[in-house]
């Protein structure tokens, strides 16, 4: 059985759903092919099934969340920025709300409403949706493409690949698109888990499972780079610091998780030897070492008989505090008057940068996004067309960009999908 289409879109995630609707609105006979039995599976589980669909900021704020890859997003965001995306959902009957840290969710707290809105628009515009049909390959035919699925062979003048990355493979995202694009000559930057919990074999970390620090600064440091400018930095960082993020840190039975850990995880998963790096956790990011020092000295003057452990910031739970004392080689029952200058310095060092060694991550199974993917150098960011294969377009997470937690990744998927559809 053969079918002819103006445009075939492969993968009904955020990028593919919006792009297909837009293509059909622009008068193109469009078919969206999805291997799952239902569309938008990853949207449904996103944001704890609430879908943090974008971030309350301007295009520059989104670009900044993608580090050096952010430049690629200028044109996609000019075509559909965060404000336009929110307006688009409002127009589709999905009111939104802004939560702490600028995250935007549907007011209903239901990711299903986001998927339903996209599917409604898709059908209204006349695009066709084929579910439960995995694409197996794409072949250029000279005047278009042959798209081979497990059920049939399809033909299209243009193809848009939106098959996503490799994270949460149970959602259908098993990296299929990478293989087809590599066969067509594209460079695939090695896919790595990102926004992923980190593992450790340090027992003291695991023994603290259940402890949450609501506001910490986490830095990933390469001790070998101390004294040289950091590579791939997202903004000016001190020498040796690969990445830093502030937010909650959660101790877990396997290691560490929480927003600040997920945001810096890409630096660990990109390293061939994560054990060479150090995660430095600053438990009191608003207090300088000098202020901590002053606090301890003043407490010594006012009541030197007090235990040191009793006058330290309360943000650190007792169980963790005891480890910090042990690592600083200060007895837990040390009194202020007995605390030496060196011990004070070592304690402050622990508070401002307790080192943890991550031995890896929980992998693609638990990664919210995939770092790596199709090289951005080979895609025209003004149109999302491949620079190597005419009439082949790419959008979403299959591309070599990954942003922080906070709705940035959906915004990038929607914006690149929209721009591709406008250009095809
Ligand atoms: C648990 C979790 C929570 C998340 N929460 C958020 C959040 O709140 N906010 C945010 O911004 N980001 C979040 N993300 C990230 C976000 O989901 C992705 O960045 C986004 O879905 C990428 O969109 P996409 O369209 O590129 O790919 P996807 O949404 O991954 O869609 C790709 C689609 O392609 C289909 N496909 C793959 N191969 C084939 C094939 N061979 N044939 C046919 N179809 C195929 C897949 O089945 C899939 O449906 C979360 C991710 C996870 C895993």
Q: What pLDDT digit, counting tens, does each position of 314-328 carry?
A: 778 889 999 999 999
Architecture of domain 2-192+370-423: 3-Layer(bba) Sandwich (3.50)
Quick check: 239 pLDDT over 70? yes
Which residues make beta-bridge pairs with 119?
A: none
pLDDT band with cut points at 50, 70 and 90 for residue 2: low
**Predicted confidence (pLDDT) per residue in 280-290, tens digit:** 999 999 999 99
* Rounded Cα distance, 143 and 81, in Å: 33
Model confidence pLDDT, tens digit, residues 363-386: 999 999 999 999 999 999 999 999
pLDDT at residue 348 tops 50: yes
Q: In 3D, which of 284, 268, 267, 278 has the Cα closest to residue 213?
A: 284
All structural domains of the chain with their residue ranges = 2-192+370-423, 197-362
Residue 411 token pair: 């915004």
Question: What strand order describes the sheet that includes 354-356?
Answer: 354-356, 278-282, 212-221, 241-251, 255-257, 198-199, 360-361
Per the model's pLDDT, the better-predicted residue between 412 and 229 turns out to be 412
User: Candidates 46, 66, 103, 111: which one to mutate for ligand 1, based on the most atoms within 8 Å of Cβ?
Assistant: 46
Can you read off the two tokens belonging to residue 331? Answer: 């007895």
Question: In this model, does residue 233 exceed pLDDT 50?
Answer: no
Neighbour tally for 60: CB within 10 Å: 11
What average pLDDT does range 196-222 have in this prediction? 96
Helix, coil or strand: residue 308: helix
For residues 9 and 15, give the distance between their C-alpha atoms in angstroms, rounded to a whole number. 10
How many angstroms separate the first and last alpha carbons of the chain?
25
**Four-residue CA torsion sign, 324, 330, 335, 341:** negative
Ligand 1 pocket, mutate which of 11, 85, 384 (most atoms under 8 A from CB): 11
CA of 163 to the centre of ligand 1 (A): 8
Instruction: Judge whether residue 232 has pLDDT over 70.
Output: no
Closest residue by CA, ligand 1 atom 26: 396
Query: Is-contact 4 155, C-beta < 8 A?
Result: yes
Residue 1 has pLDDT above 50, yes or no: no
Q: Which of 13, 101, 416 to mutate to test the pocket of ligand 1 (most atoms within 8 A of CB)?
A: 13
CA of 48 to the centre of ligand 1 (A): 14
Ligand 1 center to residue 38 CA distance, Å? 13
- Over residues 87-107, the pLDDT tens digits come to 999 999 999 999 988 999 999
Q: What is the pTM of this model?
A: 0.95
Residue with the two structure tokens 């072949």: 139
Q: What is the pLDDT of residues 14-65, one digit of tens each?
A: 999 999 999 999 999 999 999 999 999 999 999 999 999 999 999 999 999 9
């Amino acid at each position: 059985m053969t079918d002819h289409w103006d445009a075939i879109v492969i993968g009904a995630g955020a990028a593919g759903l919006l792009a297909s609707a837009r293509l059909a609105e622009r008068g193109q006979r469009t078919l969206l092919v999805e291997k799952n039995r239902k569309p938008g599976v990853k949207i449904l589980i996103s944001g704890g099934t609430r879908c943090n669909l974008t971030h309350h900021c301007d295009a520059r704020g989104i670009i900044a969340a993608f580090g050096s890859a952010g430049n690629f997003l200028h044109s996609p965001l000019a075509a559909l920025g965060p404000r336009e995306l929110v307006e688009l959902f409002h127009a589709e009957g999905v009111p939104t709300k802004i939560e702490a840290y600028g995250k935007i969710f549907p007011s209903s707290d239901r990711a299903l409403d986001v998927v339903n809105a996209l599917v409604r628009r898709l059908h209204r515009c006349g695009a066709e949706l084929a579910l439960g049909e995995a694409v197996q390959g794409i072949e250029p035919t000279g005047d278009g493409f042959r798209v081979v699925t497990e059920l049939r062979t399809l033909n299209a003048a243009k193809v848009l690949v939106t098959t996503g990355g490799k994270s949460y493979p149970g959602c259908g995202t098993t990296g299929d698109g990478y293989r087809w694009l590599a066969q067509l000559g594209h460079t695939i930057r090695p896919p790595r888990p990102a926004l992923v919990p980190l593992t450790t074999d340090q027992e003291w970390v695991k023994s603290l499972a259940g402890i949450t620090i609501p506001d910490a600064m986490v830095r990933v440091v390469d001790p070998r780079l101390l004294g040289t400018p950091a590579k791939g930095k997202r903004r000016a960082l001190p020498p040796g610091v690969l990445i830093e993020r502030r937010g909650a840190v959660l101790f877990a039975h396997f290691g560490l998780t929480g927003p600040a850990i997920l945001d810096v995880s890409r630096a660990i998963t990109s390293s061939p030897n994560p054990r060479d790096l150090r995660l430095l956790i600053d438990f009191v990011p608003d207090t300088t070492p000098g202020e901590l020092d002053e606090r301890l000295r003043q407490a010594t003057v006012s009541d030197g008989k007090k235990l040191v452990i009793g006058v330290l910031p309360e943000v650190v739970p007792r169980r963790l505090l005891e480890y910090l004392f042990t690592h600083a080689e200060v007895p837990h029952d040390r009194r202020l008057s007995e605390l030496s200058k060196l011990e004070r310095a070592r304690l402050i060092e622990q508070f401002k940068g307790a080192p943890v060694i991550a031995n890896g991550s929980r992998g693609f199974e638990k990664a919210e996004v995939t770092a790596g993917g199709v090289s951005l150098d080979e895609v025209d960011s003004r149109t999302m067309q491949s620079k190597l294969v005419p009439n082949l377009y790419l959008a979403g997470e299959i591309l070599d960009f990954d942003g922080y937690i906070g709705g940035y990744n959906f915004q990038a998927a929607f914006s690149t999908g929209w721009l591709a559809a406008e250009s095809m």
